[in-house]
Amino acid sequence: MRENMVEIIREKALAHGFEMCRIARAGVSEEHRSALSDWVQNGMHGDMAWMAEKERLARRKSPESMLGGVKSVISLGMRYSPPPYALSEANAARSRGVISAYAHGDDYHELMKKRLKALARDLDELLGQHNQRVYVDTAPVLEHAFAETSGLGWQGKHSLTLNRQFGSWFLLGEIFTTADLTPDAAAGFHCGSCTACMDVCPTKAIVAPFTVDARLCISYLTIEFKGFIPRHLRPLMGNRIYGCDDCQLVCPWNNDTETPDDDILKPRGENILPQLAMLLRLDDAGFRQRFRKSPVKRTGRAAFLRNVCIAMGNSGDAGFVPQLLQTLNDEAALVRGHAAWALSRLASGSESVAAALQQAHARENDADALADMHITIEEKEEKS
Ligand code: SF4
Ligand code: SF4
């Protein structure tokens, strides 16, 4: 193998749109393995049952189970545009929703996989007999562990990977290879005594440095979780309707992050702080059209409009009341239940809203929505 092989691979990676490319040995440290086991044992994966599946857990811990004879992992970072607003601006835009920056444009999974596959084809030629396999974040791969041991970055206290030059606005991908490449040195830990991400987290989901309890995390709640959001967390979610970037927005390592020249995800203006009222008008076909090729589409209309209702309930804007009253008739029980909650927040003293909630409760035929509305009405009566 050529002496400067790693440098050649880095140049190829850059040509395929990966500004970060580092090499790790294909092993998972005891520290990373036990951190994963503890996280799952404590139930912090929430409803993401696949994370706790025995076989999948074992595969995460063993790169060999993903590619026989694997020797090296090429850890790759692909940047995307940071949000074009500060956290204070996003919080102040109360009649608008906040969508996570990585989801402002096209879904990254297929786009990134295409780039990884193109790079892997180059490696097939470069490395001769060796086998390569590519992974994006849906595969059982401990991507943050490889990013850390390869020196691509370090794990921040918010559990995401940070890079000294690019902050944290990037996505990780990996290429496993049977080639024995010279590993890079780890990057070291550069959070120091900072706790900005832990302090700002609205739901206190970062329960300890490097440990995020998904059950409390707004990213999980708005994207992965499909049920009725725990009532005590709803007021804390503010206007975040798809994901949450708060812990990244306050991180000092993101202070001067520039927008990449060729952001393949192509952020769409319509997804930057969109008007809540427009989003709540979307029917199923409208939702699919509005979020075509966007990661938001995978969440589904019901869960997304649930999030929109919560944001309206947190807006303090009684102008949403007429639209929310109509939404009590929505086709999705999940949306009806959260619309009732939002109404009780925005019009706590209104007798006509109280009557509308009673009627909605009387005609409700979904058990979960019924139970949620029941509590909403009881709480409203206690307040008035
Ligand atoms: S994404 Fe939001 S809710 Fe989750 S840990 Fe970060 S700040 Fe907290
Ligand atoms: S906000 Fe501070 S503690 Fe959190 S990841 Fe950034 S540097 Fe580390």
Residues 76-117 have pLDDT tens digits of: 999 999 999 999 999 999 999 999 999 999 999 999 999 999
Q: What is the pLDDT, as a whole number, of residue 306?
A: 98
pLDDT exceeds cutoff 90 at 351: yes
Render pLDDT for 310-346 as a digit per residue (tens, 0 to 9): 999 999 999 999 999 999 999 999 999 999 999 999 9
Specify whether 17 is located in the same domain as 144.
Answer: yes
Integer angstrom CA distances of residue 109 from 116, 177, 212? 10, 20, 23
The verdict on the CB of residue 197 being under 6 Å from ligand 2 is: yes
Angle formed at CA 130 by CA 128 and CA 131, multiple of 5 degrees: 130
Q: How far apart are CA 99 and CA 273, in angstroms?
A: 7
The verdict on the CB of residue 223 being under 6 Å from ligand 1 is: no
Please identify, among 121, 146, 177, the residue that sits at the C-terminal boundary of a domain. Answer: 177
The 10 Å Cβ neighbour count of residue 199 is 11
Specify whether 168 is located in the same domain as 285.
Answer: no
How far is the centre of ligand 1, averaged over its atoms, from the C-alpha of 197 (Å)?
Answer: 8
* Ligand 1 atom at minimal distance to the Cα of residue 216: 3
Q: What share of the chain is helix, strand, coil (3-state, %, to 5)?
A: 50, 10, 40
The verdict on the CB of residue 221 being under 6 Å from ligand 1 is: no
Beta bridge partners of 176: 73, 133
Please identify, among 154, 177, 200, the residue that sits at the C-terminal boundary of a domain. Answer: 177
How far is the centre of ligand 2, averaged over its atoms, from the C-alpha of 195 (Å)?
Answer: 6
Which residue of the set 124, 137, 263, 317 is catalytic? 137
The verdict on the CB of residue 206 being under 6 Å from ligand 2 is: no
Which residue carries 């940071």 as its tokens? 82
Render pLDDT for 254-275 as a digit per residue (tens, 0 to 9): 998 888 988 899 999 999 999 9
pLDDT exceeds cutoff 90 at 155: yes
When divided into structural domains, the chain yields a total of 2
Task: Tell whether 287 is covered by a domain.
Answer: yes
Helix, coil or strand: residue 308: helix
pLDDT exceeds cutoff 80 at 253: yes
In angstroms and rounded to an integer, the radius of gyration of the C-alpha atoms of the chain is: 23
Which of 167, 149, 156, 250 has the alpha carbon at shortest distance from 209? 156
Specify the DSSP element, H or E, that contains 367: helix 367-383
For a mutational test of ligand 1's pocket, the pick from 224, 244, 245, 310, i.e. the residue with the most ligand atoms closer than 8 A to its C-beta, is 244
The verdict on the CB of residue 139 being under 6 Å from ligand 2 is: no
Average pLDDT (113-124) is 96
Which of 325, 285, 312 has the alpha carbon at shortest distance from 301? 285
Structure tokens belonging to residue 126: 């470069």
Specify whether 48 is located in the same domain as 156.
Answer: yes
Would you mind telling me the total number of residues written for the chain in this entry?
384
Q: How far apart are CA 377 and CA 364, in angstroms?
A: 13
Helix, coil or strand: residue 236: helix
Residue 321 amino acid letter:
V
Task: Tell whether 201 is covered by a domain.
Answer: no
Task: Tell whether 212 is covered by a domain.
Answer: no
Q: How far apart are CA 312 and CA 95, in angstroms?
A: 7
Average pLDDT (159-177) is 96
* Ligand 1 atom at minimal distance to the Cα of residue 240: 2
Task: Tell whether 111 is covered by a domain.
Answer: yes
Task: Tell whether 157 is covered by a domain.
Answer: yes
DSSP letter string over 193-232?
T--HHHHH-TT--EEETTEE-GGG-HHIIIII--SPPPTT
137 carries an active-site annotation: yes
Integer angstrom CA distances of residue 138 from 108, 172, 318, 323? 11, 11, 41, 37
Specify whether 13 is located in the same domain as 148.
Answer: yes
Q: How far apart are CA 266 and CA 101, in angstroms?
A: 11
* Residue bearing the CA closest to ligand 2, atom 4: 197
Domain that holds residue 142: 5-80+102-177
Task: Tell whether 330 is covered by a domain.
Answer: yes
Contact 266, 260 (CB under 8 A): no
Task: Tell whether 59 is covered by a domain.
Answer: yes
Residue 34 amino acid letter:
S
Please identify, among 144, 177, 210, the residue that sits at the C-terminal boundary of a domain. Answer: 177
Q: What's the chain's average pLDDT?
A: 95
Sequence-ordered strand ranges (E) for 327-384: none
Q: How far apart are CA 141 and CA 176, in angstroms?
A: 10
Task: Tell whether 207 is covered by a domain.
Answer: no
